[in-house]
Amino acid sequence: MMLATEAVIALGEAPDPVTGQRQRELPHAAGLIDLLTLLREKTEGNRSAEETQSLDELIYDLQLRYVKATKSPG
């Protein structure tokens, strides 16, 4: 999912594909995680069980990565 990939880049865990640089942009990462959460809410009842599980796991993983990023320097 492109939004998740962009969130990982914003967390500084992957290099920007254009610049090749790793840079933390935590407010941007938080916004992307919030957007994925909103998409989960708005698509409730219109996803398969497998899609729901994948999306839930993805959001949970990104939230954990975000918390870790906010607690570590750099």
Lookup result for tokens 């839930």: 56
Task: Render pLDDT for 1-19 as a digit per residue (tens, 0 to 9).
Answer: 899 999 999 999 999 999 9
Single out the residue of 19, 24, 5, 21 nearest to residue 68, CA to CA.
Answer: 24
Task: Render pLDDT for 42-70 as a digit per residue (tens, 0 to 9).
Answer: 999 999 999 999 999 999 999 999 999 99
CB atoms within 10 A of CB 69: 17
Domain of 44 in residue numbering reads as 2-71
The tally of domains found in the chain comes to 1
Q: Are 63 and 27 in contact (CB under 8 A)?
A: no
| pLDDT-derived band at 74, boundaries 50, 70, 90 | low
The whole-number pLDDT of residue 1 equals 80
